[in-house]
Amino acid sequence: MRVHVVQVAYTDEEPVAARVDRVAALVADQRGADLVVLPELWPHGGFSYRTWPERAEPLDGPSMTAIAKAAAELGAVVHAGSIVERADGGPEGRGLWNTSVVFGSAGERLAVYRKIHRFGFGNGEPVLLEAGDELVVRALELGGRSTGVGLATCYDLRFPELFRGLLDGGAEIVLVPAAWPAPRVEAWSLLGRARAIEDQIVVVQCNTGGTHAGVRMGGRSQVVDATGAVLAEAGDGEEVLVVDLDPAYVAKTRAAFPVLADRRL
């Protein structure tokens, strides 16, 4: 299974429509990939809170439509990162979510995850967005094998109980798009390794580069195996990581070191 992690870098000067076209072209160019992963909120800006309501779009809006088309052109599974989704409803009456989407090799929608843990400590996401309430794990055909793929987003990394839930739902790989800032990037790296070690899963983390809304982004996307070893790590700019994974690797790791069988709580 070949995974391409596309660490997108951008600034406020790049118009959203231009960025959508550019990133869609990047996705379509990832020849040989079985799975492509994009960052969190790359169309709308991870810290661009003030513009989220006006930039929000439905799941069939221009950003996700462009990535679905690119996935079909490429013929690979694509985690499209996340958008500020506008939809009817929501218990808090806001109708906005931080929503991730996974597309299949024909451009069909395979999975949708609304971010459960909202970052901001009373500002940003907690004020503007609804919280998701569903753990998402899907069996996806990757590298000729059905693989349990769990979805998480950015701040979710700080909550190990979410990853335990994904593990219990059958996850072997967890995909984590993010807009994680540079001042806390060491935590980003460490938490990814911790989640991989404790749940014996592969963690694929795709962060953002560049600066937007005055916030310097941390980059350092990484792929971590089920022992916590970092298989590949990006710098802080725009970059594509290419990693080959054995689809049966997680099962082999768990059999060789069956720590999960000793869980008591």
Span 126-151, pLDDT tens digits: 999 999 999 999 999 998 899 999 99
Q: What is the CATH number assigned to the segment(s) 2-262?
A: 3.60.110.10
**Quick one: tokens of 142?**
């990757």
Span 186-240, pLDDT tens digits: 999 999 999 999 999 999 999 999 999 999 999 999 999 999 999 999 999 999 9
Q: Determine if the pTM surpasses 0.85.
A: yes
Hey, where are the domains in the chain? 2-262
pLDDT score of 89 more than 90: no
Measured CA distances, 208 to 50, 234, 235 (Å): 19, 10, 10
Q: Are 137 and 173 in contact (CB under 8 A)?
A: no
Beta-bridge mates of residue 206:
177
Residue burial 170-201, b: 16+ Cβ < 10 Å; e: rest = ebbbbbbbbbbbbeebeebbebbbbbbbebbb
The identity of residue 99, as a single letter, is T
Span 108-122, pLDDT tens digits: 999 999 999 999 988
Among candidates 219, 216, 198, which has minimal Cα distance to 208?
Answer: 219
| Enzyme catalytic residues | 40, 115, 154
Angle at 203 between CA 45 and CA 145, to 5 degrees: 115
Tell me what pLDDT residue 195 has.
Answer: 98
Tell me what pLDDT residue 154 has.
Answer: 98
Span 18-37, pLDDT tens digits: 999 999 999 999 999 999 99
Measured CA distances, 133 to 42, 238, 252 (Å): 23, 32, 32
Q: Could you count the other beta carbons within 10 Å of the beta carbon of residue 77? A: 25
CA distance 32 to 12: 32
CA distance 169 to 155: 20
Span 174-184, pLDDT tens digits: 999 999 999 99
